[in-house]
């Protein structure tokens, strides 16, 4: 049973969209591994929260990973030009890991080309991007389609984390 959760980091992540899932998944008994473009680099949130990466994206072994969490803010715009970060999301999706993106995190789903014909949500400002990538945009606090969980904004974090945990249990029978 995979016991690790990957939390993607890059500068300007939305602080609460990284910190809330980090502690929620720790509380649920998972090891949360912070992954950025580089190992042991401190990335700073939009409001100043520092978080240090444990690993670089290119070094992740997905075998023990249950889910990949993508917080929003301006970080996904930076993440999506890093091919190792994009490849990690695409490989995790293709490996039937749970992919959970909130707010602007949907940009990584677009870049990884994994939302074609999927129901998704995200921050309203990226709705057109999600649609142009072939997704069916739905304005709800959380949308689940197969192994993809999406939410719109920080106020949706409780539903986002709850749904992600439910999907992990469903996919991995934990």
Give the list of residues 6+ apart from residue 74 with CB closer than 8 angstroms, or none.
Answer: 11, 12, 13, 46, 104
Q: Point out the catalytic residue in the list 104, 118, 152, 153.
A: 104
| Three-state helix/strand/coil letters over 74-116 | CHHHHHCCCHHHHHHHHHHHHCCCEEEEEHHHHHHHHHCCCCC
pLDDT for 1 equals 61
Average pLDDT per consecutive 10 residues, the chain (174 residues; last block may be shorter): 91 98 97 98 98 98 97 98 98 97 98 98 98 98 98 98 96 74
pLDDT at 174: 52
Predicted local confidence at residue 33, as pLDDT: 98
CATH class of 4-172: alpha beta
Is residue 165 part of the annotated active site? The answer reads: no
Judge residue 141's burial from the number of C-beta atoms within 10 Å of its C-beta, 0-12 exposed, 13-18 middle, 19 or more buried. Answer: middle
């Amino acid at each position: 049973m995979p016991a690790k959760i990957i939390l993607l980091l890059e500068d300007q992540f939305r602080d609460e969209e990284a910190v809330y899932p980090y502690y929620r998944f720790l509380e649920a008994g998972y090891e949360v591994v912070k992954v950025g473009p580089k190992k042991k680099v401190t990335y700073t949130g939009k409001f100043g929260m520092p978080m240090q990466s444990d690993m670089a994206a290119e070094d992740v072994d997905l075998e023990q990973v249950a889910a990949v969490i993508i917080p929003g803010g301006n970080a996904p715009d930076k993440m999506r030009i890093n091919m190792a970060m994009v490849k990690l999301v695409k490989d995790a999706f293709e490996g039937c890991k749970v992919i959970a993106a909130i707010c602007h995190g949907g940009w990584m789903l677009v870049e990884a080309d994994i939302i074609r014909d999927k129901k998704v949500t995200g921050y309203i400002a990226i709705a057109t991007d999600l649609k142009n990538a072939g997704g069916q945009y739905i304005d709800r606090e959380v949308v689940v389609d197969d192994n993809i969980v999406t939410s719109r904004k920080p106020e949706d974090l409780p539903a986002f984390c709850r749904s992600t945990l439910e999907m992990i249990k469903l996919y991995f029978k934990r």
